[in-house]
Amino acid sequence: MPSVTVPPAIDSDRLWSSLMRMAEVGPSPNGGSRRLAMTPEDVAGRQLLLDWVESLGCTWQRDRAGNLFIHRPGRENHLPAVAMGSHLDTQPLGGRFDGVLGVLAGLEVLRTLADNAITTRRPLSLIVWTNEEGSRFAPAMGGSGVWTGRLDEEAFFSATDSQGISLREAIHACGEGGDLPLGEPELDAYFELHIEQGPVLEEQGHALGIVTGVQGIRWYDLSLRGQSAHAGPTPMTYRRDPLLAATALIQSLKEQVMADPQGAARLTVGDFQVVEPSRNVVPGEVRLQLDLRHTDDKRLAELDAAVERLAGAAAEAEGVELSLQRRWHSPVTPFDDDLIASLRRAADARGLAAPAMMSGAGHDAVHLSHVTPTVMLFVPCRDGISHNEAEYAEPEHCAIGTQLLCDTVLERAERD
Amino acid sequence: MPSVTVPPAIDSDRLWSSLMRMAEVGPSPNGGSRRLAMTPEDVAGRQLLLDWVESLGCTWQRDRAGNLFIHRPGRENHLPAVAMGSHLDTQPLGGRFDGVLGVLAGLEVLRTLADNAITTRRPLSLIVWTNEEGSRFAPAMGGSGVWTGRLDEEAFFSATDSQGISLREAIHACGEGGDLPLGEPELDAYFELHIEQGPVLEEQGHALGIVTGVQGIRWYDLSLRGQSAHAGPTPMTYRRDPLLAATALIQSLKEQVMADPQGAARLTVGDFQVVEPSRNVVPGEVRLQLDLRHTDDKRLAELDAAVERLAGAAAEAEGVELSLQRRWHSPVTPFDDDLIASLRRAADARGLAAPAMMSGAGHDAVHLSHVTPTVMLFVPCRDGISHNEAEYAEPEHCAIGTQLLCDTVLERAERD
């Protein structure tokens, strides 16, 4: 049996040209893409991929959720497949790289192996997950969620879009449903290359990041209720102003987050509303949403306690009533140590300084990590901008990420 | 000529029963009143008043703005009239006292003089101003504004309600326009009794406040623009978060306001909006409105400078762009010293501890103060609540305010 000692080189130009070609499927007005899940554009994107892999001699199957599994046989096809994947659906005004890069990097790996007449020990799988974005049907990461059993089937299939069309109906209408049972085929490992969707790699001048896991997340809904009052006749000391309590809370929470010893805590207040706003009326109620993240569950738990303590103190100081609801908690998800080590070896072999980093965003890989050894690679994206038509990744960075994917997938597929 | 040495006593029960009767004109669902300016309910309220004053032998005139002037002749009718007044229009879900008390207290004064067969040296005038609330037609205090020349006639008459009906049309449709030229009759003084619409008198246990003027007000519109970003992948140190800048500004401004040596500064943030809010997205833009008030123009100017300085500092600290617009500035309006002294004498004579206070809200008296000696009296209202069906003033407090109004109007009307 041949073993691969010097990994073959991927074709950077071919990769880039495939990315640009895919972007023309469902082009958006300002140079991005619009391929909402299970629309004709999404189907056309998948078909383009299938046209490409057909010429490589691959076969494919779909499951009921429309997840698409492209198979490349190995030498020992009874062994579980080594998988690569991501998604082809986009935001309504999405970019050319989010998800697409992971899929087309996998395509480029398959093409490179074909070019070099390499047949791996284990079979390979290239997976396109359904409805990762969640823009048309909530929640996001639906296809991987239902395939891994982490998302309830009914929640997945019954989700409706703004027109009242269910995802079940949309999959059927697109002809994207198939016979492969959910959870099959068995996988040996799952690799996902993705743009970072943040600014760190670019700012630090790195071409690649090795993703060691996903941050823990806690979501909160807060309501603070005081006494609405005229701005004029009510002295400050007589007020019970929920807006002052809310801003005090945010500032004190920010202090905690900024003081994080690891510098890894993140606080986002994505919504802040005055109920019945009026320029010259002290608000009666303010509602806000908090998003707290950390790479360390212990620190996230400490921040959780801080939210409760600081919100209580802020409410008490202003004499307002607090309602604090914990809406969601997603613990830190670690990726597979062996796969991380394998990526590290491959990066070292290529002379690449690839920092270990945690993903702040959710990805299909998060669900996959609960059922199979999983890892991710990040490449930089310009200004950290994503979910936006202006999303951009350098051809060189896309190529480097794809090369590392190729190197590690080969090693994994060949191992004893 | 007779002079009044012992002022007559007003009839507290009659006053209260008139207030309760007027509240039945345009009753609102929960015990308040709904008499929007120049609606059939507003006209019916005015007609009830006219029925009452007709039996006292008074006459009346209206001007083009629908302001209603009720005349009670004096002994020397070539002298300018001593006026009392306020408004009968209400908020959509208004209370039984805001404005109404000032008008019906004036009625009670006229009735008391009639009971006691007193004819004052100067004639008296009881004025009902059009559209004080501004709920149907903006701006508020329109009738007194246009009568005093402080509001442009076109702005007054061309204001439209939500149905597109202009105030000019509404006055005409109600038959409330008259021949009296704007600015007539000449007034010797203007007295307005009103509920405080704040909590101070009640909290301090006073039945009456002598209003020495109206606070200065400054309004601001702020926009803070940073960079929208994913909550997850963007470390705090890479963010340009306008919400954190806005909350820091509010907190630092609050510190300045709370440190005011006179304790007279007031800060209200009546509106605070995230543009395109999303739970897990760092806001790209935040907009807020500030309302700053002070009883001292010099201190208000210092706070104005603080807004600019602190907003600039907060924006710089977060790396966001600031747009600061000054929307309105109303300087401190002092009331007439002689009338204030007259109220003080009357309160002393009745053994009433009546604190001097500044009005935080606008009133018709603010416009009047620019053309004639003006003063106001406040009585407490429960929990400081106003512009609300639950608005309530104690019968005893209404009576005390009306008695002081009677005492001082008599003194003013009789003076040499």
CB contact under 8 A, A231 and B293: yes
pLDDT in tens, B326-337: 988 989 999 999
A169 labelled ligand-binding: no
Per-residue pLDDT averaged across A240-260, rounded?
Answer: 98
Higher pLDDT, B330 or A335: A335
**pLDDT exceeds cutoff 50 at A124:** yes
Q: What is the largest CA-CA distance in chain B?
A: 88
Q: Is residue A229 part of a domain?
A: yes
User: A296 and A357 in one domain?
Assistant: no
A1, part of any domain: no
How far apart are the C-alpha atoms of A383 and A1, rounded to whole Å?
46
**Cα B248 from Cα B242, distance rounded (Å):** 10
Q: Specify the pLDDT at position B224.
A: 98
H/E run at residue B407: helix B395-414
Phi and psi, residue A265, nearest 5°: -85, 145
Contacts of B362 in chain A (CB under 8 A): 232
Would you call B233 and A198 a contact, using CB atoms and an 8 Å cutoff?
A: yes
pLDDT of A3 above 50: no
CA distances from A18 to A24, A98, A101, A276 (A): 10, 14, 10, 51
Min distance B273 CA to chain A CA atoms (Å): 6
- Residue A3 belongs to some domain of the structure: no
Burial B93-123 (b: 16+ CB within 10 A, else e): bbbbbbbbbbbbbbbbbbbbbbeeeeebbbb
pLDDT confidence of residue A5: 66
Residues of chain A contacting residue B280, judged by C-beta atoms under 8 Å apart: 219, 268, 270, 291
Which two three-digit tokens encode residue A162? 């703004």
B141-144 contact pairs (CB < 8 A, 24+): B141/B362, B141/B363, B141/B364, B141/B366, B141/B367, B142/B37, B142/B65, B142/B167, B143/B65, B143/B66, B143/B67, B143/B87, B143/B364, B144/B67, B144/B364, B144/B367, B144/B368
Residue A42: what pLDDT?
Answer: 98
Residue A41 resides in a domain: yes
Closest-approach residue (CA) in chain B for A250: B247
**Per-residue pLDDT averaged across A214-240, rounded?**
93
Does residue A28 fall inside a structural domain?
A: yes
CB B33 within 8 A of CB B95: yes
Cβ-defined contact of A360 to B280 (cutoff 8 Å):
no
Residue B228 sits in the same domain as residue B207: no
Same-domain pairing of A288 and A241: yes
Q: Which of A196, A233, A251 minimises the CB distance to B384?
A: A233
What's residue A1's pLDDT? Answer: 38
pLDDT at residue A4, as a whole number: 46
Q: What residues make up the domain containing A158?
A: 12-214+332-414
- Residue A224, pLDDT > 60, answer yes
What span, in angstroms and rounded, lies between the C-alpha atoms of A175 and A151? 22
One domain for residues B42 and B163: yes
Q: How many residues does chain A have?
A: 416
- What residue type is B140 in one-letter code? A
B254–A196 C-beta distance less than 8 A: no
CATH of the domain at A46: 3.40.630.10
Residue A2 clears pLDDT 60, i.e. is over it: no
* pLDDT on residue A230: 85
Cβ pair A230:B289 closer than 8 A: no
Among residues B330, B363, B379, the one where a domain terminates is B330
How does residue A362 score in pLDDT terms, banded at 50, 70 and 90? Answer: confident
Would you call A361 and B232 a contact, using CB atoms and an 8 Å cutoff? yes
Cβ of B232 within 8 Å of Cβ of A217? The answer is yes
Least CB-CB distance to A258: which of B236, B278, B362? Answer: B236
- Distance from C-alpha of A392 to C-alpha of A49, rounded to nearest angstrom: 21
Residue A108 in domain: yes
Residues A117 and A82 in one domain: yes
Domain identity same for B361 and B394: yes
Residues in CB range of A129: below 8 A, 6 or more apart: A67, A85, A86, A87, A141, A143, A144, A147, A364
Contacts of B5 (CB under 8 A, 6+ apart): none
Question: Residue A72, Cβ neighbours under 10 Å: how many?
Answer: 23
Of B305, B330, B355, the last residue of a domain is B330
Are residue B286 and residue B383 in the same domain, yes or no? no
The pLDDT of residue B6: 77
Q: In chain B, how many domains are there?
A: 2
| CA distances in angstroms from A176 to A43, A129, A137, listed in the order given | 8, 12, 16
Task: Please give the structure tokens belonging to residue B379.
Answer: 């009585």
CA distance linking residue B37 with residue B171, whole number of Å = 9
Q: CA nearest A381 in B: which residue? A: B233
In this structure, the answer to whether residues B339 and B357 fall within a common structural domain is yes
Residue A4 lies in a domain: no
Q: Which long-range contacts (CB under 8 A, 24 or more apart) does A345-351 make?
A: A345/A411, A346/A7, A346/A404, A346/A407, A346/A408, A346/A411, A347/A208, A347/A210, A347/A404, A349/A407, A350/A400, A350/A403, A350/A404, A350/A407
Torsion angles phi and psi, residue B308, rounded to 5: -65, -45
- The position carrying tokens 């010797």 is B188
Asked if residue B348 and residue B290 are part of one domain, the reply reads no
Chain A hits for B196, Cβ within 8 Å: 233
Give A406→chain B minimum CA distance, Å.
25
Binding residue per annotation — A387? Answer: yes
> Contacts of residue B231 in chain A, CB cutoff 8 Å?
266, 268, 270, 291, 293, 360
Instruction: Indicate yes or no: CB of A243 within 8 angstroms of CB of B219.
Output: no
- Mean pLDDT over each residue of chain A, to the nearest integer: 95
pLDDT of residue B360: 87
The verdict on a CB contact (< 8 Å) between A360 and B230 is yes
Q: Do the annotations mark residue B230 as ligand-binding? A: no
Average pLDDT over residues A178-205: 96
Residue A397 annotated as part of some ligand binding site: no
- pLDDT tier at A279, thresholds 50, 70, 90: confident
- Domain CATH number, residue A257: 3.30.70.360
Which residue of chain A comes nearest to B262, CA vs CA?
A: A235
Does residue B183 sit in the same domain as residue B135?
yes
Cross-chain residue pair B360–A215, CB shorter than 8 Å: no
Asked if the model's pLDDT at residue A225 lies above 50, the reply is: yes
Does one domain contain both B189 and B265? no
Q: CB of A406 within 8 A of CB of A222?
A: no
Place of tokens 């501004």: B134
The DSSP-derived string for A299-324 is HHHHHHHHHHHHHHHHHHHHT-EEEE
Domain boundary among A330, A356, A385: A330
Q: Which residue of B has its CA nearest to A216?
A: B232
What per-residue confidence (pLDDT) applies to B3? 46
φ, ψ (nearest 5 deg) of residue A328: -160, 145
Q: Of A16, A127, A150, nearest to A66 (Cα)?
A: A127
In this structure, how many other beta carbons lie within 10 angstroms of the beta carbon of residue B154? 10
**Per-residue pLDDT at B5:** 66
Within this chain, do residues A47 and A94 fall inside the same structural domain, yes or no? yes
For residue B352, tell me if it sits in a domain.
yes
Q: Is the dihedral of CA B106, B111, B115, B120 positive or negative?
A: positive
- Beta partners for residue A324, in sequence order: A222
Residues of chain B with pLDDT under 50: 1-4
Beta bridge partners of A357: A211
